[in-house]
């Protein structure tokens, strides 16, 4: 059964035509993902379907009696009700039935002597009880508690006034209210924006079981894969509809574009051939040939011309490091941080080696961004130390872009950071990030979150650092920009530490995951899917932290081999080259130390002689470790061929 039909709908704002005669059909029970570039008209379409605005042209039809509920990106809750009371309003009809049942019970007790009145009241009581049960009258308190817990509201917050909640918490409250209402058509605009990973997983499971129909706008590709069974894309004001989840949609979209380009090229070739024939007939200048030319011209005029396929502009960039680091890039020991007496984390240790790609995950408020600020030395730890290795150049991508000067224009912001560049070179770089023409004179303070993110990425690319600390790098970026960023990071030869809620990003970029929780930190080898599988096995008791009969060293070797198997051949070859260079460097240091140890004058200072001997032993240990790593990398490269 078709629940929603959108027929040739158009919508403009001033001279800007956002939607151009779009058509959409949504069946009952479907879960559709809606994607497209920022500002492309996705939210406008949802508001049109919800009846919040009228189309300029076309018609939107819903099945008879269908109820629509919509979650917008910005929630506006100003009432004095508590969080729980806001959600209890959803069940007011059920609570009214419950009050009537209590009143009937009292009336039956009063009329116990009148058998006819008792019988009549009992029948009414039975009918109302059936309706009460069908409406979930006994389950609504637990449903409220389940939704609050699922969406990450801490126990005790249900009695807080709703108006004092943060913007993100208000959005989550609106989402909770909407899920409890259970409309036939659920319209969701970026529902995962203010959710941590645990709450997002809960929402995915809830939407998969949802009895109604779902139309959701999201940049979370992992979420779209988990929830959606069909997709729609708005591009250049037009809408295309596809079957399957996000991954299948990307394959179909690429195939469609290739087909459209081929069909356009074939038609252009045929038009050129026909025009050449017409011109040749006219050159003969005979009555018969002129008639033939006119006949072909008429057929050519009637031909339905295909529009040249065009896709939205995409950012294009790559990350390069101007020099290589040593094998040890960053070592953090025993980090601890508190704010206002509240402990964020303690005893956090981390060892980053060259080529590592580490993702940091965990619930909101656990201190992930604070950790990056400490590692980048923007914030001191309360306890612990951070050491950088040799030749480390640090690049930091901040989630909120506060390092950008709001009063500068885009061109000045980038050029002032790299004054040696020519103006044309700066403009060429900005063009890669879709800032062309007069766009470069826009003030930073007027830019959207995605545009500010692109400016920061442009500066990060130009710095050519070899260690990148990234705080939610995919926030505010559209789908295509995220894909390009992931590709650039996959090809990057340096080291990456990223805080992210974007599971699709983590799957493509990370080969190691650090999970921060209020009760401690755990580390997992592999990407996000590997992490989920290991968590599942831990919960099922299938995997112990230590394998009986194996030493810690043996277990570490197995884990390293597992990690290497997940890396690409290109990354392995790059790491192998770095290991060979490091071996050569350490061997040179050992030779220099041995030359000093062969000098009798050294032993006239016993303390210096001991120091040189200790350093020689340390370098020998380093060399043994490097040779072991080189052997592992060599085997991994051979196995990847």
Helix (H) or strand (E) segment spanning residue 285? none
pLDDT band per the 50, 70, 90 thresholds, residue 504: very high
Q: With CA atoms as reference, report the closest residue to 257 among 513, 578, 480.
A: 480
- Widest Cα–Cα separation across the chain: 120
Mean pLDDT of the chain: 86
pLDDT band per the 50, 70, 90 thresholds, residue 547: very low
Contact 416, 455 (CB under 8 A): no
Q: What is the pLDDT of residues 344-361, one digit of tens each?
A: 888 888 999 999 999 999
Distance, in Å, from the CA atom of 128 to the CA atom of 557, rounded to the nearest integer, reads 67
Q: State residue 499's pLDDT score.
A: 94
Helical H segments across 510-568, by residue range: 528-539, 552-565
Contact 625, 582 (CB under 8 A): no
Residue 519 has pLDDT above 90, yes or no: no
**CA-based angle 390:394:400, to the nearest 5?**
160
- Non-local (6+) Cβ contacts of 564 within 8 A are 572, 632, 633, 636
Residue 415 has pLDDT above 90, yes or no: yes
Q: State residue 544's pLDDT score.
A: 46
Task: Tell me the β-bridge partners of 230.
Answer: 32, 243
Q: Between the CA of residue 175 and those of 92, 218, 223, 255, 393, what are the distances in Å? A: 18, 14, 16, 36, 43
Q: With CA atoms as reference, report the closest residue to 223 among 513, 506, 509.
A: 506
Q: State residue 542's pLDDT score.
A: 59
Q: Which of 86-100, 208-222, 425-439 shows the lowest mean pLDDT across its residues?
A: 86-100
* Ranges 37-46, 229-238, 597-606, most confident: 229-238
pLDDT band per the 50, 70, 90 thresholds, residue 633: confident
CB atoms within 10 A of CB 603: 11
Q: Is 524 exposed, middle or buried (0-12, 13-18, 19+ CB in 10 A)?
A: buried
Q: What is the pLDDT of residues 121-173, one digit of tens each?
A: 888 888 988 888 887 777 888 888 888 888 888 777 788 888 777 777 788 88
Distance, in Å, from the CA atom of 528 to the CA atom of 503, rounded to the nearest integer, reads 6
What is the arithmetic mean of pLDDT over 273-295? 88
Q: State residue 44's pLDDT score.
A: 93
Q: What is the pLDDT of residues 182-194, one digit of tens each?
A: 899 999 998 988 7
Q: State residue 566's pLDDT score.
A: 56
What secondary structure does DSSP assign to 177-202, as a single string? HHHHH--SEEEEESTTTT--HHHHHH
Residue 550 has pLDDT above 50, yes or no: no
What is the arithmetic mean of pLDDT over 215-228? 93
* Ranges 160-164, 545-549, 566-570, most confident: 160-164
What is the arithmetic mean of pLDDT over 28-40? 89
Q: What is the pLDDT of residues 328-337, one digit of tens each?
A: 999 999 899 9
Helical H segments across 440-551, by residue range: 449-463, 479-491, 503-509, 528-539
Residue 461, Ramachandran bin (φ over 0: left; ψ between -120 and 50: alpha; else beta): alpha
Task: Please give the distance of CA 489 from its chain centroid, rounded to a whole number.
Answer: 15
The tokens 């951070």 sit on which residue?
Answer: 386
* Ranges 73-77, 177-181, 393-397, 625-629, most confident: 393-397
pLDDT > 90: percent of the chain: 37
Residue 475 has pLDDT above 80, yes or no: yes
Q: State residue 561's pLDDT score.
A: 60
Residue 227 has pLDDT above 70, yes or no: yes
Q: State residue 545's pLDDT score.
A: 47
Contact 332, 384 (CB under 8 A): yes
Q: State residue 395's pLDDT score.
A: 94
């Amino acid at each position: 059964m078709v629940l929603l039909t959108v027929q040739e709908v158009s919508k403009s704002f001033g001279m800007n035509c956002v939607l151009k005669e779009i058509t959409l059909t949504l069946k009952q029970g479907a879960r559709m993902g809606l994607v497209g570039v920022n500002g492309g008209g996705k939210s406008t379409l949802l508001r049109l379907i919800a009846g919040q605005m009228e189309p300029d042209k076309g018609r939107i039809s819903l099945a008879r009696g269908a109820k629509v509920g919509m979650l917008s990106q910005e929630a506006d809750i100003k009432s004095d009700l508590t969080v729980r009371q806001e959600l209890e309003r959803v069940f007011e009809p059920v609570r009214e039935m419950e009050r009537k049942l209590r009143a009937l019970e009292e009336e039956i007790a009063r009329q116990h002597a009148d058998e006819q009145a008792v019988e009549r009241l009992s029948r009414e009581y039975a009918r109302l009880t059936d309706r009460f049960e069908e409406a979930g009258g006994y389950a609504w308190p637990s449903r409220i508690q389940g939704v609050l817990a699922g969406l990450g509201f801490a126990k005790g917050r249900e009695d807080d006034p709703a108006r004092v909640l943060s913007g993100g918490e208000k959005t989550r409250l609106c989402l909770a209210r909407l899920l409890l209402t259970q409309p036939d058509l659920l319209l969701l605009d970026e529902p995962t924006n203010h959710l941590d990973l645990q709450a997002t997983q809960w929402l995915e499971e809830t939407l998969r079981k949802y009895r109604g129909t779902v139309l959701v706008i999201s940049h979370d590709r992992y979420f779209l894969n988990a929830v959606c069974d069909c997709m729609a894309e708005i591009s250049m004001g037009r809408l295309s509809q596809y079957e399957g989840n996000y991954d299948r949609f990307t394959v179909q979209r690429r195939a469609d574009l290739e087909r459209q380009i081929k069909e356009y090229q074939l038609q252009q070739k045929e038009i050129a051939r026909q025009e050449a024939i017409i011109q040749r007939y006219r050159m003969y200048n005979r009555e018969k040939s002129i008639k033939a030319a006119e006949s072909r011209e008429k057929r050519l005029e009637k031909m339905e011309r295909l529009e040249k396929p065009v896709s939205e502009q995409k950012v294009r960039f790559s990350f390069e490091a101007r020099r290589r680091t040593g094998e040890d890039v960053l070592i953090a020991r025993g980090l601890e941080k508190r704010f206002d007496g509240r402990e964020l984390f303690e005893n956090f240790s981390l060892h980053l080696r060259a080529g590592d790609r580490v993702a940091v995950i965990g619930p909101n408020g656990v201190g992930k961004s604070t950790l990056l600020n400490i590692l980048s030395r923007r914030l001191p730890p309360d306890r612990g130390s951070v050491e950088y290795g040799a030749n480390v150049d640090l690049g930091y991508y901040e989630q909120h872009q506060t390092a950008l000067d709001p009063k500068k224009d885009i061109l000045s912001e980038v050029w002032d950071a790299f004054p040696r560049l020519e103006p044309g070179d700066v403009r060429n770089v900005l063009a890669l990030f879709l800032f062309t023409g007069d766009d470069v004179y826009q003030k930073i303070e007027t830019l959207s979150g995605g545009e500010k993110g692109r400016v920061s990425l442009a500066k990060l690319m130009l710095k050519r650092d070899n260690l990148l600390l990234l705080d939610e790098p995919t926030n505010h970026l559209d789908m295509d920009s995220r894909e390009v960023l992931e590709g650039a990071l996959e090809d990057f030869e340096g080291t990456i530490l990223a805080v992210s809620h974007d599971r699709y990003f983590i799957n493509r970029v990370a080969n190691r995951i650090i999970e921060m929780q209020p009760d401690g930190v755990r580390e997992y080898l592999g990407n996000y899917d590997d992490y989920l599988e290991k968590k599942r096995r831990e919960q099922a008791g299938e995997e112990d932290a230590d394998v009986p009969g194996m030493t810690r060293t043996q277990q570490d070797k197995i884990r390293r081999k597992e990690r290497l198997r997940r890396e690409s051949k290109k990354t392995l070859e790059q790491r192998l080259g770095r290991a060979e260079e490091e071996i050569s460097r350490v061997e040179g240091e050992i030779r220099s130390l041995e030359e000093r140890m062969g000098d009798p004058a050294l032993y006239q200072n016993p303390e210096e002689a001991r120091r040189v001997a200790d350093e020689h032993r340390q370098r020998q240990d380093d060399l043994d470790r490097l040779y072991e790593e080189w052997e592992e990398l060599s085997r991994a490269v051979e196995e990847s061929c």
